[in-house]
Structure 1
């Protein structure tokens, strides 16, 4: 972090450090680290564990003697193979980002071969790191740079704008709030109408469960669905633990 993300870079496309908040967070002792064993962990268990981290983040924030808007939690999933980074970092980020934003948090994804482009330069790759990790922090005003992208699906853009407006409303000026609200409304109007597709020859649609082939597919998916239901129930009841399954979360420690 000190060698790259806290330093300026010639390809960054703007002045200042790659992340202008990393060094102040480090100096304020608000940059925390944790790690857990992700080796051979099933992907659904991995996602279930990461869905508990917003609760851990909020608990750590509440227990700090002095609150900090720069509080950040770097999470290292240990034991991942190089060929697993795309799934356990990139895909996990796409799955988890909407949930984290609903909680008022942002999630950053880093690994050695990240192809994520910089906000100010298409040739710069700011999310590359020696080791795979995810970084959690509270949503900030500058996060407008990282949402509502032209390549983002319309439904996701609506969700991101609504979350951004809800969590930053008190810090936005009336003009900025109106601009974000208009962007959200325009994106929502771009959504296709939810009209049922016409059925060929006027036939009634066949129930999926009445199709033998579909019954076979549903039967094969049943264990995964049951696992997902357990994870969701655990989250809804507030009884989930980051230590579920094979996960071992290391003690959060202040950066030295």
Structure 2
């Protein structure tokens, strides 16, 4: 286990061995199973060959696919007023999930420091939020929108996953690849192939071009030109 008073971070092995707080065990187990079965597999509605997420399997294999949980509060199954939350200051009231999101970014940067460049691209942090209403995406969507500018500017992607996520697939707009069994936010390194997820917001496109302009593959440049000219 890694982390601090705002986030506790667990590896897939720790989740599998039950070395996590009992109140999070079921949710973390569900997300790990979903990752191993859905994300690493192909799907007939995906619209292309290969797994739903091509980075999940190598990330899992190297134990770089990590799970974070916040203390008690809106994102915890214990709910408000729990005396058992890990690391929340005594008498501090409800923790702010926005603070936990900020710490998620800091922890990704910290854990990346000693990794080789290829492994930095595989490092993924999933903040699992079993206390967020699985039938109402408003809170999670708002957290992701509020954080995305800063994350992208810092070279990271942050995405929201939940049971009712209506974000369409890139290759098949009828496919819903971001539907997970438990609400969560996922953070990983911004990659050159992330361009389609950033078009539509000039500030995100600017951050992308500053980082990748010299490295943009031909097919991605063509995609960029077609999007911009459209």
- For 2:66, which of 32, 38, 47 is the aligned residue? 32
The answer to whether structure 1 residue 98 and structure 2 residue 149 are counterparts is yes
CA distance in 1, matches of 2:39, 2:48: 14
Residue 72 of structure 1 corresponds to which residue in structure 2?
124
CA distance in 2, matches of 1:167, 1:66: 15
The answer to whether structure 1 residue 19 and structure 2 residue 63 are counterparts is no
- For 2:211, which of 167, 185, 190 is the aligned residue? 167
SS of residue paired to 2:141: helix
**Aligned-pair distance for 1:100?**
0.7
Q: 1:38 to 1:123 in 2, by over 3 A?
A: farther
Residue 211 of structure 1 corresponds to which residue in structure 2?
none
Contact 2:161 / 2:185 at 8 angstroms: preserved in 1?
yes
The alignment's C-alpha RMSD in Å is 3.0
Structure label with greater radius of gyration: 1
More displaced 10-residue stretch of structure 1: 61-70 or 173-182: 173-182
Task: Show structure 1 runs of 4+ deviating over 4 A.
Answer: 41-44, 64-67, 173-184
Contact 2:140 / 2:183 at 8 angstroms: preserved in 1?
yes
CA distance in 1, matches of 2:74, 2:100: 14
Q: 1:178 to 1:113 in 2, by over 3 A?
A: closer
Q: 1:87 to 1:165 in 2, by over 3 A?
A: same
Residue 121 of structure 1 corresponds to which residue in structure 2?
172
CA distance in 2, matches of 1:138, 1:66: 10
Residue 7 of structure 1 corresponds to which residue in structure 2?
41
TM value normalised by structure 1: 0.60
CA distance in 2, matches of 1:27, 1:170: 31
Query: Structure 2: where are the runs of 5+ without partners?
Result: 1-34, 76-92
**Aligned-pair distance for 1:183?**
7.2
TM value normalised by structure 2: 0.67
CA distance in 1, matches of 2:170, 2:218: 25
Aligned length: 178
Query: Structure 1: where are the runs of 5+ without partners?
Result: 188-256
Contact 1:6 / 1:17 at 8 angstroms: preserved in 2?
yes
